Amino acid sequence: MSNDIVITGLGATTPLGGDVVSTWDALLAGQSGVSILEAEWVTTFGLPTRIAAQLAVDPSEVLPRVEARRLDRCEQVAVIAARQAWADSGLTADSVDPERLAVIIGTGIGGANTLLNQDDLLEGPGLRKVSPLTVPMLMPNGPAAHVGIELKARAGVHAPVSACASGAEAIAWAFRMLRSGEADVIVAGGAEAAIAGITMAGFCQARTMSTNNDEPTKASRPFDVNRDGFVLGEGAGIMVLELEEHAKARGAKVYAKLAGVGTSSDGYHITAPDPEGAGQARAITTALRTGGIDPADVGHVNCHATSTSVGDVTETVAIRKAIGEHPILTAPKGSFGHLLGAAGAVEAIVTVLSIRDSVIPATLNLDELDPGVVHDVVAGEPRKVDLKAAVNDSFGFGGHNVALAFTSG
């Protein structure tokens, strides 16, 4: 019996669109989801960065009002993307045993807005105004829990919290659970909605965010010699993964196979990557090994590249060590910013669609390639390429490294 793992459903809500189709179309069209932040606190706090990649479609336009009020924004986007992925997969309550169904949704921060808002109420009007749903709304496992309850998943509900690698780690975790026989179907991905005063202020003080406020759509520029930091974004990306035999038995469509996964840690620094890229390279190598993929067959790497001075080049060093100089690279964060814990999941979806459609999206705002990058990076226009295998990289503060290797279905 085959233990190959296939992707049968996709869902997303991002700064480029309210679903997978609109996000993919906007990405291929070279659009940007970055804009000026109109929130009063931006001016009140005197933040040097006044831009962000906000959702293209607000959750309030999708969810019933009562439901939305009971969920943090991070939970809202997870529920929206999960419902899309579930519907896209064609699964129903009758087509999967709930005891063989799991949910794994990671987040880097969780309910930041709830925490801030409820603390304001506690310190202002007082205790009586604090919502009894405060803890369920702010806890990092909230997105996974709400989706798991809705789907009646009983094989497990998990919530990896690995900073910006969280969404990708959720997908890697799903791979391992499926391979170990713990489930037949898993809904996995990442969610984040942390555009808030404290997170923005913290990143500003760390000098990791772009301050190109005058040209928001040009601020996020991975691999470009003039990049000056990332742009904070929000959103969610969810996949339905299942054992190939289970998918075949129900006649499901298949986007691609998740052939292998790899995780590692740098053991180096809380925010900076190992400049030698050793940990990142180990994760990529492990993903190829578990997938039985020859590095020569990897035609494309969808990069984590956030548009920071050190991180972008370090990633290419790791790619060169693990795969070589031949893969064609792209970095979607030029278009939709950095979605933190959701980034890896959304970018994994982009990687799957690149394989399906044989096209690699261009890296937005890449005008002059950093001389430290030796690879071919797609810029200007999307590129048609027949792909046998592609890798998606995700890295996070704390030295978390995740690589996902996909092949055509």
Residues recognised as catalytic: 164
The single-letter code of the amino acid at 172 is A
> Which of helix, strand or coil describes residue 27?
helix
User: In this structure, is the dihedral angle defined by the CA atoms of residues 332, 334, 335 and 340, taken in order, positive or negative?
Assistant: positive
φ/ψ of residue 168, rounded to 5: -70, -35
Output the CA–CA distances (angstroms, integers) from residue 258 to 3, 178, 238, 290, in the order listed.
11, 11, 14, 10
> Which of helix, strand or coil describes residue 306?
coil
Cα distance between residue 168 and residue 345, in whole Å: 5
Beta bridge partners of residue 239, listed in sequence order = 10, 188
In terms of Cβ atoms closer than 10 Å to its own Cβ (0-12, 13-18, 19+), residue 250 is: middle
Give the number of other Cβ atoms within 10 Å of residue 194's Cβ: 24
